[in-house]
Amino acid sequence: MGVFLIVGLGNPGETYQNTRHNIGFDVVDSIATRLQAEWKTDRFGWIAKGKYKSRSVMLLKPNTYMNKSGEALRFWVNSEKILASEELMVITDDLALPLGQLRIRPKGGAGGHNGLSDIERALGHQNYPRLRFGIDRRFKTGQQSDYVLGKWNAEEVALVQPSIERASEGVLLWVFQGLARAMNSANAVPPSAPENKLDQ
């Protein structure tokens, strides 16, 4: 195995900090803390490098904005000669999952997510592992953009923070013991989330 590239999707800038759409950034920040890895500005974003049980890990937070995530990811996949099906993990928000629920999958479609769609376009395939972090669908029709770009409320934070830690643990389990073990651990159903409020 070479370098494991872990990419958290989000938008750069203070405006987007602590928003639902930036949960990928939050998870890789948590992983960087666990690895005592320091963030540095580099090509197409911020990079942090560290070791986990002798495995080399590279974390990436693209600065290209969500809709152009593929540009940053493709550069680093090519630069580090990453095998996308085995050495790449993308972390993103997911409206289809209850708040705080995690789903690791070896491959799959974008599911309407603009960041994943751009990555698929950049790589030319869907065969890369991803961790989807549930942010729920608690908004009315026509308010999706405001919802995903909105900040967590106090009720949500109580579930989100433990799930960030579970996500970090799951990704590092993938690095050391493989995808099957990571899926068994991270995909377990978390404690009950607040009642969903679907589109009305």
- Domain-located, residue 118: yes
- Between 198 and 66, name the one with better pLDDT: 66
Q: pTM above the 0.95 mark?
A: no
Tens digit of each residue's pLDDT (9 = 90 or more) over 137-182? 888 788 899 999 999 998 899 989 999 999 999 999 999 999 999 9
- Domain-located, residue 192: no
- Between 188 and 31, name the one with better pLDDT: 31
- Domain-located, residue 46: yes
pLDDT at position 198, please? Answer: 40
Which residues neighbour 198 within 8 Å (Cβ) at sequence distance 6 or greater? 137, 138
- Domain-located, residue 194: no
Alpha-carbon distance of 158 to 32, in angstroms, equals 21
- Domain-located, residue 199: no
- Domain-located, residue 121: yes
**Assigned token pair, 141:** 């029709």
- Domain-located, residue 200: no
**Number of structural domains in the chain:** 1
- Domain-located, residue 195: no
Tens digit of each residue's pLDDT (9 = 90 or more) over 7-64? 999 999 999 999 999 999 999 999 999 999 999 999 999 999 999 999 999 999 999 9
**Assigned token pair, 20:** 């639902």
Residue 114 sits in a domain of what CATH number? 3.40.50.1470
Query: Which residue out of 20, 21, 74, 166 is catalytically annotated?
Result: 21
Per the annotation, the verdict on 113 as an active-site residue is no
State the residue range of the domain holding 166.
Answer: 4-186
Tens digit of each residue's pLDDT (9 = 90 or more) over 75-112? 999 999 999 999 999 999 999 999 999 999 999 999 99
- How far apart, in Å, are the Cα atoms of 95 and each of 82, 130, 180, 184, 197? 29, 15, 24, 22, 12
**197, pLDDT greater than 70:** no
**199, pLDDT greater than 50:** no
pLDDT at position 190, please? Answer: 59
**Assigned token pair, 53:** 């049980």
Alpha-carbon distance of 88 to 147, in angstroms, equals 28
